[in-house]
Structure 1
């Protein structure tokens, strides 16, 4: 799948230094990449992404952001 065929989206809260997490969809999957390494793409089902986002809303991953 050529990257030109995908429409990547990033958060408006991205810090603008080229290090952004971006999302796209393709063939019913949600794709995730880091803009610093765009050749590495993780594919998840919509259900997996929904579970992840629910965990974010519940602050289940906050310890990963601690200095």
Structure 2
């Protein structure tokens, strides 16, 4: 089953839409796990930069993620 909507599950939606009162940039917030860009989805690498590891499937449900 492909992820046809904006989000394939409520957990992914919750993570991507969360905001932090302490961190303006989600790459600085340790609670932000997933990033979505024009290239697709990625797991944020919390090393002080803005890198992420590309993923093709939802980390919670295994659903294929569309770009």
TM-score of Structure 1 vs Structure 2, range by shorter chain: 0.3 to 0.5
Structure 2-normalised TM-score? Answer: 0.34
Structure 1-normalised TM-score? Answer: 0.34
Larger helix share, 1 or 2 = 1
